[in-house]
Amino acid sequence: MKIAFLTSGGNAPCLNSSIGRLLFNFSKTSSDITAIGYLNGFSGLLKGKSIALPINSNSTRIDSLYEFGGSLIGNSRVKLTNITDCLKKGLIKDDEIPLEVSAKQLIKDKVDILFTIGGDDTNTTAKDLKNFINSNNIDITVIGIPKTIDNDIFPVRRSLGSYTAAKYGAIFFENIVNENFMAEKHLIVHEVMGRNSGWLSAFTAKMYFDKLDQKDFDIINKKRYEIHGIYLPERELNFDKEIERLSNVMEQTNCLNLFVCEGAFLEEIEKDLGRTGNSVQKDAFGHVRLDSVNAAKWFSELISQEIDFDRILIQKSGYFSRSAAPNSDDLDYIFKICDFAFDNALKANSGVVGEDQRTGQLSCIDFNEIKGDKGLDINSKWFLELIHRIEK
C-alpha cells in the first residue's frame, strides 16, 4: 500500500502534526506501506515532485513533527479547475487538463490513498479531483483533513489548528497592548486573519480576556488593557454611532484597543477603491486578496478623521499565530481526527473527516457537501457575552 500527502493553502498549527499522526498509525499496520509527500500542495502533484516520508515501527522521528508548526512538504494555492491560472503558473502545458494530469501522476506513483490537508479551497479542489477519479473508474481513496485557522469550513464544527491560532493571537496582543502607554492619545488596531468569517478574531478576543482576568490590576488601570471594539464581516456597523461610542471610551481611557478582522469592511473598501478607479485584487479561487485591502489601515484612517490620536499602531498577528506548533488541546484533537481518518482510509471511505455540526457526530463527510466561508454564529452564548463585555 502506498499513501500520499499534500498540504495546501495557508499555514496552520496542525499540518506537520497531522502528517505525523497518520504516519504513526500506518507504521503500526504492516511493513509493506510506503509514504510520499507532494511538495507544495497541488503544485507538486501537477509537477510530479514528491519526497519519501518515514514509515517504521520506531516512532521517535515521527513524534518530532508534533513540535513544529508549518508543513515540511510545503503549501501552495492551486485550483485544479482553473486552467488559465495553472498555465500562468507553469504547472501544465497548453494542451493539458490539470485534473487529468493530477490523476495520471497519482496512478504513475501507484498511490492508493491521498490525504489532502487544508481548508475549504483545498477540500473543494480535492472534491473536483475525487469526482474526476470516480468518473474514470480509478481506484484511489481521497481523504480531506480540515485545516484552517478561520474555522470556516461547512459543515465541520472545528478545524484543526484554529484554537492554537487564537491562543497565539491572544499572546501576541498581550504584549502589543503595552504600547498604548507610549502616547497620551493612542490607537492600537490588531488585525486578525479571516476572509469572510470573524470566528478567529472573536475567539482570539475571548482568549485574550481569559488571560486578562488572571492578572492583578491593583495598581494598573485595567480599562487600558480592555478591548474597546471588535469588527467582523458578520456584523453590520453604524459608523456614526460607533465613532460616538469610541469617542466616549477615548475620553475615559486616553487609548483605544481595537480588533479588526481582515475581511471586515470589504464592501465599504471596495466602494472607496471604485471612486478612485481601482478595484480589489482576487486570487485563483476568486477570493479578494486581503493583503491588498488592509482593513485595519482603512478603518484607522476613517476614525482618525473624527478622533484625535498622537500615535497609531497597526499590528497583524496572522503569520505569528498560524505558524505555531499546536498546543496540547489542539494536538489531542488532531490525534482524534487523524485516528478517525486512518480508520476510514483502511475502509476506502473518501471524504472530509471531522465533527459534522449538523449531527454532532464524527463523520467522513462527502466532499460534495463541503463549502467555505461558514460565518461566525453571532448569536452563540460565548459571542454575545464577549460583545457585551466589549461594548458595555
Q: From CA 260, how far away is CA 233, in angstroms rounded? A: 9
Which amino acid would we find at residue 282? K
In single-letter form, the type of residue at position 373 comes to D
Tell me, what amino acid is at 94?
D
Q: Could you confirm whether 150 is annotated as catalytic? A: yes
In sign, the C-alpha dihedral spanning 226, 231, 237, 239 is positive
- Choosing from 95, 121, 128, 150, the catalytic residue is 150
**Which residue, 377, 375, 9, is CA-closest to 197?**
375
Distance CA 46, CA 18 (A): 22
Residue type, position 343, single letter: D
67: left (phi over 0), alpha (psi -120 to 50) or beta: alpha
Q: Contact, 159 vs 115, CB < 8 A?
A: no
| Cα–Cα distance, 376 to 392 (Å, whole number) | 21
Residue 137: CB atoms within 10 A of its CB come to 6
Q: 235-238 long-range CB contacts below 8 Å, 24 or more apart?
A: 235/198, 235/378, 237/265
Q: What is the pairing mode between strands 34-38 and 2-7?
A: parallel
Nearest CA to 370 out of 383, 358, 378 is that of 358
Rounded to whole angstroms, how far apart are CA atoms 108 and 48? 9
Whats the size of the chain, residue-wise? 392
- Three cell numbers written together for 277: 478607479
Grid coordinates given for 191: 488585525
Q: Which three cell numbers stand for residue 19?
A: 502528517
Active-site residue numbers? 150
